[in-house]
């Protein structure tokens, strides 16, 4: 694909600098945007069909429109840069290589929802991305793109970068808000939703780095230009993080509805060492796994993956070859989710740990008759019964691994 929306500057020397970003047209449309009514900016984003790229896939413009316009309270934008989903590493490259695209996107979103204080909640381990982002913000302040009376428009915006402390749960939007407020990073009950009662009990929009980074293109080229990529229901491009047993792992920007087979076999260079493909996780570790047969015939869009019983998620494509023991792979995932559960809800707190211990026993060759049924029962009692979806993030892999690779579990227990 010739036209890139998010990664077109990645190959440029010093792509993180303001001068380079401006030379590619960056920030040139701000005056035009400030001349528009905020509601018209929201409408343009709605028309583009942009959906949240953090995992949920909720329509972005629609989410913004939920922010009450007549509220006397201040409004906030919180950018979720707490990229912690195993298999996902796309946002860090946007932060490192083109941070001004995110800054401009934040200005656009903040103007659209009448926000004057925006936050970036960045993963604690992202030391270098944080340095790059803070340099970009400083450059934007110096050039008058941030601060008071931006470009003489009368519009003010301050951006603050807040570093997390390494908790996976803070990638969930309400846990992120609690952490920003100095509380324990635990999810909140919804409703009320953040758009009405969010940061400091004020109307708040929470969007992912990749989502916000798509805005400069949409407002520059227009909604129709963005819709030339992808499908009617899944428009635009998407960043996919490809890892595992491939010859060329990395981040690839492709239009939605792109062939997963082509992404793995051509863009990522095919399976390492000439081995056979066994399974693929298409959207980060929390989504149901695909068999090799399913993976080689599915397209990468929300609807196609849903038909296969899985999800696009955050676009973390984890490729597994024929040497992988699926029981050990699931045990590894269970260890992660057990460790990262915040402990607020007992089905998640107890269920993730219990599932991990059971899987450890099976993968260690000490499985017993009835363990598979017990594992299924644990997953059934976790899914949909907690405040956030962390319990589901383990339950869904358990269901899919047991359904598609049950023979491996039975073989380990039997032998």
Instruction: Specify the CATH number for the domain of residue 354.
Output: 1.20.1440.230
Q: Are 370 and 271 part of one and the same domain?
A: no
Q: Are residues 173 and 200 in the same domain?
A: yes
- Whether the CB-CB separation of 319 and 243 falls below 8 Å is answered with yes
Mode of pairing for the β-strands spanning 258-259 and 117-122? unpaired
Where does a domain end: 163, 198, 227?
A: 227
Count of domains forming the chain: 3
pLDDT at 415: 80
Q: Does some domain include residue 135?
A: yes
Bridge partners, 206 (sequence order): 78
First vs last Cα of the chain: how many Å apart? Answer: 50
Residues 208 and 254 in one domain: no
Q: 3-state DSSP call for residue 255?
A: strand
Spatial contact of 174 and 188, defined as CB atoms under 8 Å apart: yes
Cα separation, 404 vs 392, in Å, equals 18
Which CATH number characterizes residue 213's domain? 3.40.50.11540
**For residue 215, with 0-12 CB atoms within 10 Å meaning exposed, 13-18 middle and 19 or more buried, which class applies?**
buried
336 vs 282: CA distance, rounded Å:
18
Full-model pTM:
0.95
Residue 75 and residue 167 in one domain: yes
Q: How far is CA 97 from CA 138, 143, 226, in A?
A: 16, 20, 22
d(CA 348, CA 350): 6
> Is the same domain home to 97 and 145?
yes
Last residue of a domain, one of 227, 260, 295: 227
Give me the average pLDDT of each 10-residue run along the chain (415 residues): 84 97 97 96 97 89 95 97 96 98 98 98 97 98 98 97 95 97 96 97 97 97 95 95 98 97 98 97 96 97 95 96 97 98 97 98 94 97 96 97 97 90
Q: Are residue 261 and residue 377 in the same domain, yes or no?
A: no
Is residue 251 domain-shared with residue 223, that is, in the same domain? no
In the block, tokens 């409408």 appear at: 43
Q: How far apart are CA 75 and CA 57, in angstroms?
A: 23
Residue 280 sits in the same domain as residue 156 = no
Strands 117-122 and 250-255: unpaired
Tell me the C-alpha distance between 209 and 242, whole Å.
18
For residue 365, CA distances in Å to 125, 161, 323, 339, 368 come to: 35, 47, 18, 23, 9
- Within this chain, do residues 166 and 40 fall inside the same structural domain, yes or no? yes
Sign of the dihedral defined by the CA atoms of residues 1, 235, 53, 278, in that order:
negative
How many Cβ atoms are within 10 Å of 262's Cβ, its own excluded?
14
CB proximity list for 388: less than 8 A, separation 6 or greater: 169, 172, 174, 175, 187
Q: Within its chain, how far is the Cα of 9 from the centroid? A: 21
Per-residue DSSP letters for 75-114?
-EEEEEE---STT--SHHHHHHH-HHHHHHHHHHHHHHTT
CATH code for the domain in which residue 301 is found: 3.10.20.600
Three-class DSSP category at 147: strand
Range of the domain at 291: 237-321
Check whether residue 317 and residue 330 sit in a common domain. no
Q: Which of 292, 321, 350 lies at the terminal end of a domain, its last residue? A: 321
Does 82 share its domain with 201?
Answer: yes
- State residue 1's pLDDT score: 40
Number of Cβ within 10 Å of residue 171's Cβ equals 26
Q: Is residue 133 part of a domain?
A: yes
pLDDT at 54: 83
Report d(CA 82, CA 171) in Å as an integer.
Answer: 5
Domain co-membership, 60 together with 128: yes
């Amino acid at each position: 694909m010739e036209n890139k929306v998010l990664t077109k500057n990645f190959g440029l020397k010093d792509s993180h600098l303001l001068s380079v970003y401006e030379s590619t047209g960056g920030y040139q449309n701000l005056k035009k945007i400030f001349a528009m009514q905020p509601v018209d900016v929201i409408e343009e984003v709605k028309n583009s069909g942009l959906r949240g790229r953090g995992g949920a896939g909720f329509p972005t413009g629609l989410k913004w429109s939920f922010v009450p316009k007549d509220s006397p309270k201040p409004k906030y934008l919180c950018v979720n840069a707490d990229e912690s989903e195993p298999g996902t590493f796309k946002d860090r490259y946007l932060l490192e290589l083109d941070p001004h695209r995110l800054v401009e996107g934040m200005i656009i979103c903040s103007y659209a929802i009448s926000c004057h204080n925006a936050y970036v909640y960045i993963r604690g381990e992202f030391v270098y991305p944080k340095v790059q982002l803070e340099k970009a913000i400083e450059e934007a302040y110096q050039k008058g793109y941030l601060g008071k009376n931006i470009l003489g428009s009368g519009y003010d915006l301050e951006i603050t970068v807040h570093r997390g402390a390494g908790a996976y749960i803070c990638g969930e939007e309400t846990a992120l808000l609690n952490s920003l407020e100095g509380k324990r990073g635990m999810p909140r009950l919804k409703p009320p939703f953040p758009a009405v009662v969010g940061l400091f009990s004020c109307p708040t929009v929470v969007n992912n780095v990749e989502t916000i980074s798509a805005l400069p293109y949409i407002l520059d080229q227009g909604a129709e230009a963005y819709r030339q990529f992808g499908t009617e229901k899944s428009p635009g491009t998407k960043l996919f993080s490809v890892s595992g047993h491939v010859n060329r792992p990395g981040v690839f920007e492709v239009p939605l509805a792109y062939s997963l087979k082509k992404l793995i076999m051509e863009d990522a260079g095919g399976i390492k060492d000439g081995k056979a493909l066994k399974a693929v996780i298409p959207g980060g570790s929390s989504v149901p796994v695909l068999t090799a047969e399913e993976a080689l015939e599915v397209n990468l869009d929300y609807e196609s993956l849903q038909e296969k019983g899985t999800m696009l998620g955050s676009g973390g494509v984890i490729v597994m070859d024929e040497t992988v023991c699926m029981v050990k792979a699931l045990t590894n995932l269970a260890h992660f989710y057990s460790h990262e559960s915040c402990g607020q809800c007992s089905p998640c707190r107890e269920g993730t740990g219990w599932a991990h211990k059971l899987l450890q026993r099976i993968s260690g060759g000490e499985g017993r008759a009835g363990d598979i049924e017990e594992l299924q029962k644990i997953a059934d009692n976790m899914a949909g019964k907690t405040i956030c979806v962390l319990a589901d993030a383990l339950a869904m892999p358990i269901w899919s691994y047991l359904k598609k690779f049950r023979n491996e579990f039975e073989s380990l227990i039997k032998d």
